[in-house]
Copies of this chain bind each other. A is one copy, B any other.
């Protein structure tokens, strides 16, 4: 049983959130180890990377909106700094997003969303179907109008993950390749983990960033973390022609048959179409039905996709907390912080999550922006 020198911070989970937290914590002068059998994996490897706090706004979710906008406004700088540190691009593109309506019900719903945007002072412009097709000529003739949201952009999560791994390595973060087998608790305090290879990794503070498997870590006391359920998303990758001008210029989204559909066009010609929302446990199978629904709905929105090569189908697991908002900051177990439960917003919320958790790790204080997302909000009784 080997013991290595204890770092200040041990991050369990080397997905997008864990790596970004590690990078930011290291920048604050802390020594950091990230534990994962496959750093740079997780749900973000599958995600489309749409950064859409405004178009995805839900009623009654203002704290989450503020968190999302706080993350969105720092995204450009986060990516610029990361690209510089890693020597690699992240695929960040300030494209804006078009949320369109296919029928009268959609139109009414988008109209209400637009009014809500206006009350909150968010940039959101109502446009007619004709105007929408002028912006995006490939849109179906049936599109009846929609919202042009100038500040909802995109990033390429695969490039972002690669850049985070590189930036962590260059900054001296230790990327330890193993799984966490058990949380170590000494006295009444988290002390680190036992790894799948039998090592004991101790640390001053431990951050649980293991997505939908966070609450399953053996040794985690009851009631410290609510269950984080896996919500499966299937997604497609097509290839757009690049010869005759862009096929699509910006993110296009709609609600089709109750499901969120979005098309995210990248500068390199990749077109990502997502995503299903399925509560199926820890299953990441790509199914005939999932692919069928995405193609059917996307075809309704942008008929011209039929000619495009279908180059990849994949599925990932979003981590969903009981209220679908993230779990951020200190848990009821001293020495253990959470950074998980980001559900459909993991990529969007990565910069703000990293900043907030790094701040807490470095100072011990929980920033006001993080307070509504305390993991303790579900506790049945005070510990």
Contacts and interface: CB of A to CB of B under 8 A. Distances in A.
Interface of A: 236, 238, 285-292, 295-296, 298-299, 305-311, 313
Given A292-B295, A292-B296, A296-B296, A287 B306 contact: yes
Contacts of A307: 287-289
A308 B295 contact: no
B287 A308 contact: yes
A310 B286 contact: yes
A46 to B, nearest CB: 15
Nearest to A298: B288
Contacts of A238: 288
Nearest to A286: B310
Contact of A310 (B287, B305, B311): B287
A349 B298 CA distance: 40
- Number of this chain's copies in the assembly equals 2
Contacts of A236: 288
Contacts of A309: 285-288
A5 to B, nearest CB: 45
Nearest to A308: B288
16 contacts: A238-B288, A287-B306, A287-B310, A288-B295, A288-B298, A288-B299, A288-B306, A288-B307, A289-B307, A290-B310, A292-B295, A292-B296, A292-B299, A292-B306, A296-B296, A310-B313
Given A296-B296, A310-B313, A291 B291 contact: yes
Contact of A291 (B285, B287, B289, B295): B295
B288 A310 contact: yes
Contact of A289 (B290, B305, B311, B313): B305
A313 B291 CA distance: 11
A174 to B, nearest CB: 37
A2 B213 CA distance: 63
Nearest to A238: B288
Closest 7 CB pairs of A and B: A289-B306, A292-B295, A285-B309, A288-B310, A288-B305, A288-B308, A286-B310
A91 B286 CA distance: 26
